[in-house]
Amino acid sequence: MTTQVIVVNGGSSAGKSEIVRHLQAVLPRPWLAFGVDSLIEAMPRSMQASDTGIEFAPDGGVNVGPEFMALQSAWMEGIATMARAGAGVIIDDVFLGGAGTQQRWRRVLDGLDVLWVGVRCDSAVAAERERSRGDRVPGMAAAQAQVVHEGVVYDVEVDTTRTTSPACAQIIADHVRRSGDDSRSPHQI
């Protein structure tokens, strides 16, 4: 079976979005990319500072409420529908709930061939990237570096601490190209 969906999970400033852009450039067919940041940007501003929506704490913590979860569920269903309609889809997400978030995606993507990708980065390196970007809440990278991977099972993992985004994208693309065979053992760099 050919990979239909690539789910890329990692903490803030780990390099996921950059990897996704490079991945789109090296995969043999066009793939659509959807990130949780775009979902948040699409929500009404009133939900971005609400205990029922999403709150970004001064220390980098993120809290989500029931209205956010409802909209996120609809967004997830929509992405799955596009994949079922034949579009290759790359999802750039931050599994704040670790294994629980992966389970939500597994339910929505049931029946599709999914490649689960973990993007790791040393928390100090991610924190420095966060500082240099200037568009993130300080502390978010360190707070998310490990928690987003807790209990999550991956087909392939990459680490952007010392590996470039293009190299990480190539590792993932090579795994996608091999997805037609039965060798789905995890690959790690």
Structure tokens at 19: 């990897």
Q: Which residues are annotated as catalytic?
A: 37
Q: Which of 179, 174, 178, 146 shows the shortest CA–CA distance to 9?
A: 146
Give Cβ neighbours of residue 15 (< 8 Å, ≥ 6 apart).
Answer: 119, 121, 129, 160, 165, 168
Strand partners, 175: none
Q: Are strands 156-159 and 62-64 parallel, antiparallel or unpaired?
A: unpaired
Determine the angle formed by the axes of helices 66-84 and 99-108, rounding to 10 degrees.
40
DSSP string covering 104-150: HHHHHTTTS-EEEEEEE--HHHHHHHHHHH-SS-TTHHHHHTTGGGT
Q: DSSP per residue over 6-36, as a string?
A: EEEE--TTSSHHHHHHHHHHHSSS-EEEEEH
